Structure 1
Amino acid sequence: MMEALRLRNVDEDFAAHRQAWLNREVQAEKQIGKQSKPVFGKFDQFFDYEKRLNNNSQKLETTRQAETFESRISKIYQKRKGGK
């Protein structure tokens, strides 16, 4: 139980530091001549929601394929051992 609490605290620290990093990134500016301009003009430049969704769905599909492959291998081993 204490281990879970420690891990949760680490996760909370990670989230806080990640938020601080994102705040820093979104406030970043680049120098253009004598003026400074925000690096990210639009939110989509900072965080592409559609791209993130597509990446996650690809990872999920890969995980499903891996599970299917693992289940096939386990069935082969069960057949060799005379199981069901």
Structure 2
Amino acid sequence: MARLYPLAVERKKCIRCGKCARLCPVRNITMTEYPAFGDRCVSCQRCMAFCPPNAIHVPGKDYRQYRSVEYSDLLSEGR
């Protein structure tokens, strides 16, 4: 299955905290040296919304970081 949005990581911004991988509901992100995206993305955009330095983006799209819930609330969902 092809990704709906081709996610990318700006390596100069990425602090390698792993929040994106921990929050991905379909476990599409693995942490190597930097986040790596698989092909199971469901476009929830949690990785972009909770990336502390805004390092994750869709190339060619203007994205403003938006959060409707807090990071700790998502982690307490049983993940």
Q: Do the two structures share a fold, i.e. TM-score over 0.5?
A: no
Relative CO higher for 1 or 2, CA cutoff 8 Å, sep ≥ 6? 2
TM, length-normalised to structure 2:
0.23
TM-score (normalizing by structure 1): 0.22
Higher share in helix: 1
Determine which structure has more spread, i.e. the larger CA radius of gyration: 1
